[in-house]
Amino acid sequence: MQPYAHPSDHIQLHDLLFVPLFSEAKVRERVRELGATLSQQYHNKTPLFISILSGAFVFASDLMRDFDGNCEVGFVKLSSYTGTQSSGRVQTVMGLEKDLKDRHLIVVEDIVDTGRTLHFFLDHLRSQGPASICTVTFLRKPEALAFPVQVDHAGFDIENRFVVGYGLDYEGLGRNLPGVYQLIE
Ligand code: IMP
Ligand code: MG
């Protein structure tokens, strides 16, 4: 399909059109603030960032570099989405190969929608005996929340609309957009 030509700030991914929600500058500013907050929170500790793939890899990469101090990173792949709707199931597609016992964990999510992914994953982490768990999500949709999840830091709260960019995709596309775009309905 040919890219949609205009208006110039619209983006077409597959069959859907998106409009800008947060600019690259606004995203970078907010992520720096979150990095500074975590740097204070984990002063003299060596936290393990756990990035939930695929969506959170962009956010985690910036957040780590905005973290002032020693830290490690690990990746886990969970999956619950197909297209623009949650499939209702959470699968672990790839696990962590690290010992989490007595570690300070910072779980990094791209977006908390229903909260199902995080709820499921936090249960799993708690059973591994970490010293502490903190959750950081780039975006959060408060209206969509259906599971009781602890979110310690959220970049932005947004409406219950489908978004792409900064790691978030629609059927594989849009992850490389440096800002965030919202679906036109
Ligand atoms: P939850 O388990 O319902 O909270 O959904 C979390 C996962 O669904 C996220 O990690 C995303 O991969 C995906 N997701 C939820 N909302 C969106 C969206 O608006 N755009 C792209 N992916 C989304
Ligand atoms: Mg996704």
Catalytic residue among 113, 123, 157, 169: 113
Counting from 1 in the atom list of ligand 1, the atom nearest the Cα of 168 is 21
The yes or no reply on domain 24-161 and CATH 3.40.50.2020 is yes
Span 70-129, pLDDT tens digits: 999 999 988 665 556 665 666 665 678 789 999 999 999 999 999 988 998 898 899 999
Tokens of 167: 């790691």
Separation of CA 45 and ligand 1 centre (Å): 30
> In whole angstroms, what is the distance from residue 165 CA to residue 156 CA?
14
C-alpha pair distances (Å), 93 with each of 53, 79, 154, 172:
10, 7, 25, 17
CB 166 less than 6 A from any atom of ligand 1: no
How far apart CA 102 and CA 64 sit, in angstroms, is 20
Per-residue model confidence as pLDDT tens digits over 132-172: 999 999 999 999 999 989 999 999 999 999 999 999 999 99
Ligand 2 centre and the CA of 40: distance in Å? 30
**The pTM is what?**
0.91
Nearest residue to 100 (alpha-carbon basis) of 133, 78, 69? 133
Domain coordinates in residue numbering, the chain: 24-161
Q: Ligand 1 pocket: which of 80, 123, 138 to mutate (most atoms <8 Å of CB)?
A: 80
